[in-house]
């Protein structure tokens, strides 16, 4: 389920349905192999993108952000099959309130179709606000697209301390953040773009010009 925060059907529901339909499946006679990557990971990740600026076009507000086709490729290219829930937050990370407005959420790529969401009813977004793309723990920042040589974003993880009765007050539930993947550097982008071979064709032309002379 990607319509809200709830997880349904659960794995227990799935097992119950399979057991009812095929009672012998879990008898121990068969070795079961599953592939539940997205259902395991999707709700454990989100993408936060700063609003660079907003504009009005085609009778609707458009918020231009730093997350588009380069990190939400499936959603941009197949919006009906891969829709995402969108959250609106202020620069301080507090959820935005107030009257809602139909807005498109667009990305930074240089083509008009780089739109993550069309006509979403959200509190009015402004420069430096933060747009959150929910349920993106699978198939999003793990599969970046190098369109426009845009850098791969950093990935951060967090853990919440388990509470124990003997712990000091305030320690239980403490959140610790850690870098899981560094942001891609400009040097890395240049290297991937062939910086080491920047003179390859120039040198060849020079050699050919020398032979012609």
Measured distance CA(49)–CA(106) in Å, rounded: 11
Residue 129: closest CA among 24, 53, 31, 207: 53
* Contact (CB, 8 A) for 92 and 112: no
pLDDT of 142 > 80? The answer is yes
Average pLDDT for residues 72-81, to the nearest whole number? 95
**Residue 101: partners with Cβ closer than 8 Å, 6 or more residues away:** 61, 121, 122, 123, 124
pLDDT at position 138 is: 92
Split at pLDDT 50, 70, 90, the class of 209 is low
Average pLDDT for residues 5-9, to the nearest whole number? 87
pLDDT of 84 > 80? The answer is yes
pLDDT at position 203 is: 63
Split at pLDDT 50, 70, 90, the class of 180 is very high
pLDDT at position 212 is: 61
Q: Which residue has the higher pLDDT, 209 or 4?
A: 4
Indicate the fold that domain 11-151 takes in CATH.
Lyase, Ornithine Decarboxylase; Chain A, domain 1 (2.40.37)
pLDDT of 23 > 70? The answer is yes
pLDDT of 141 > 90? The answer is no
63 exposure class (CB count in 10 Å sphere: 0-12, 13-18, 19+): buried
* pTM for the whole structure: 0.83
């Amino acid at each position: 389920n990607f319509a809200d925060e709830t997880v349904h059907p659960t794995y227990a529901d799935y097992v119950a349905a399979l057991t009812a339909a095929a009672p012998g499946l879990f008898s121990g006679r068969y070795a079961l192999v599953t592939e539940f990557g997205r259902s395991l990971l999707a709700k454990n990740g989100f993408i936060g993108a700063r609003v660079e600026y907003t504009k009005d076009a085609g009778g609707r507000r458009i918020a231009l952000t730093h997350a588009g086709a380069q990190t939400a490729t499936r959603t941009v290219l197949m919006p009906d099959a891969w829709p995402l829930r969108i959250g609106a937050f202020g620069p301080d990370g507090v959820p935005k309130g107030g009257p809602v407005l139909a807005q498109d959420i667009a990305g930074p790529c240089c083509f008009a179709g780089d739109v993550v969401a069309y006509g979403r009813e959200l509190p009015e977004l402004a420069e430096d606000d933060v747009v959150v793309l929910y349920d993106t723990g699978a198939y999003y920042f793990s599969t970046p697209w190098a369109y426009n040589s845009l850098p791969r974003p950093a990935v951060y993880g967090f853990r919440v301390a388990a509470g124990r009765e003997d712990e000091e007050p305030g320690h239980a539930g403490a959140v610790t953040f850690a870098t899981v993947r560094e942001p891609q550097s400009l040097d890395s982008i240049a290297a991937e773009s062939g910086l080491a071979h920047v003179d390859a064709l120039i040198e060849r032309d020079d050699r050919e010009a020398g032979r012609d002379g």
